[in-house]
Amino acid sequence: MNLKENWKKLHGSKKTFRNGMYATVLAVVVLVAVILLNLVVRAFPTKYTELDISTSGLFTLSETSKNLLHELQTDVTAYYLATSGEEDSNITRLLDRYADESAHFTWEQRDPVLYPTFAEKYEGASTGCVVLTTADKYDVVSYQDMYPMDLEAYYYYGTQQYSFDAENCLTVALANVTRTTGYKLYELTGHGETALESDFTDTLNNAGVTVEELNLTTAGSIPEDANDLLINAPLADVTADEAAMLTSYVENGGKLFVVTDFTVDTPNLDTVLAACGMTRQEGLLVETNADNYPYGYPQTYLMPNIQSSEIMAGMTSGMRVYTPIAQGIVQSEDSEFVLTTLLSTSDAAYSLINYEEAETVEKSDTDPEGSFAVAVAAENTSTGARVVWVNCPNTLLSGTNQSVSGGNAQMLGSIVNWFNDEQTTAVISSKSLSASSLTVPNAARLGLGILLVFALPIICLITGVVVCLIRRRR
């Protein structure tokens, strides 16, 4: 009996040991599988493994940044200067997204404690900044630039509100260190032209374009290094000699951007534009479609439709352009230039012919109606000449630009890039760090209250009672 019992115990212990071995091996296999799976997952780009659930898409790259990274041919290394353990996760996650989009972009962290002299190699570098480098160039993006403060909110309301502008800063810096060609745009002066303000010059700088003034009367000619020429809302006409210079410049493949004020008589400048197939539409444009002018403003304050073309490819989706007080442009069908409408009114607009004497903007029987071009591009494919005309004097004003969150500056940058056969301008909107409040409509509050306070608890209670009764019967 004892032998049988001992044999059973021995047999049972062997079986237990064997089962234990199986369980141990299975646990090891599962552990190894989990580790391997983790390694495989970590090898995937973070854009697939880390979802951006932030309300403003803090870590989602714009198409502008992606296109620049996809076309990158130069190796770029970004150095993030931050003390270990005090890194800004917003910045590191965004740098990961940049690295995911191009094999030519990598980034490393440099701890100022471990590398105390590293920042000295780059002018302007300090803790918190990101330094983008190539073999022979570098650009420093400061922490303050990546987190700009809303000065208006600070001065008027005493609140410190910050936005996350790191993508725009990094993409601009990336374009700067990889750009091999610079461009020069001359602003014509001497006729009361409006000088470009900082929001427009900053956009052009992002595109590698420097701006200088040019007075044709004193200079006597258009400089050889002029890639582009801007005439911005002159208050007087150009002279016949200046018109001849401009005509010759265009005939030889020049790039000309013209903004005009239809209340100023400029027959010489009009001749230059007419040679490119564009003339004025008589009257003042009035918009009757509520989607094409700001609420509460006169119907002459146009927000025209942006026509899709390669010329306007730099415009962010959903961005608007503001052209208050504008006149239409008529396009010739017989011009040797290829004409492209860039901005146009809706089909419900009309041109108020007798606007100088009219007491209201009410349409008369003689006023033409339909869709009118506000901005037109002309290209001569034989000579390479490119001319853009916007018949609104307020187009390149800072106040106008700010009314549409920088849309007019984006348009300028996109057109100048088209002039220079360059990529779209790196203009990316800042992203809010404030979480949007969840607002529950009044009509839904009562229903949600009944559901959450009464219905769900009662359902859970009934379900628990039923489960208990079923278990007792078993």
Nearest to 385 by CA among 255, 271, 228, 222: 255
Q: DSSP labels for 323-379? A: EES---EEE-SS-SSEEEEEEE--TT-EEETTTTT-SS----TTS-BS--EEEEEEE
Q: Encode pLDDT of 308-329 as tens digits.
A: 999 998 787 788 999 999 999 9
How are the residues of the chain apportioned to helix, strand and coil, as percentages rounded to the nearest 5? 40, 20, 45
Distance CA 244, CA 251 (A): 10
The answer to whether 365 and 378 have CB atoms below 8 angstroms apart is no
- Choose the weakest-confidence range: 120-134, 138-152, 273-287, 408-422: 138-152
Of 91, 90, 72, 95, whose CA–CA distance to 177 is shortest? 72
More confidently predicted of 189 and 26: 189
Q: DSSP states of 157-177 as a string?
A: H----BEE-HHHHHHHHHHHH
pLDDT higher than 90, residue 162: no
**What was the pLDDT predicted at 372?**
97
User: Is the model more confident about 236 or about 43?
Assistant: 236
Calpha distance 113→100 (Å, rounded): 28
What share of the chain has pLDDT > 90, as a percent?
A: 62
pLDDT band at 27 (very low <50, low <70, confident <90, very high): confident
H/E segment holding residue 29: helix 2-43
Bridge pairing between strands 338-344 and 305-306: antiparallel
Buried/exposed code over 59-81 (b: 16+ C-beta within 10 A; e: otherwise): bebbebbbbbbeebeeebbbbbb
221-224-225-227 Cα dihedral, nearest 10 degrees: 80
Reported as a single tens digit per residue, the pLDDT across 377-416 is 999 999 999 999 999 999 999 999 999 988 999 999 999 9
DSSP class per residue in 57-124: -TTPPPHHHHHHHHT--S-EEEEEE--TT---HHHHHHHHHHHHH-TTEEEEEE-TTTSTTGGGGSTT
409: nearest Cα among 398, 417, 420, 418? 398
Q: Which two tokens stand for residue 307?
A: 């026509």
Please report, as a single letter, which amino acid is at residue 225. Answer: D
The two three-digit tokens of residue 328, written as one number:
């239409």
Alpha-carbon gap, residue 250 to 275, rounded angstroms: 10
Query: How far apart are the C-alpha atoms of 387 and 380, rounded to whole Å?
Result: 9
pTM, entire model: 0.70
What is the per-residue pLDDT for 51? 54
Report the chain's mean pLDDT, rounded to a whole number.
Answer: 87
Q: Is 39 helix (H, G, I), strand (E, B) or coil?
A: helix
pLDDT category at 437 given cuts 50, 70, 90 is very low
Residue 442: the pLDDT is 63
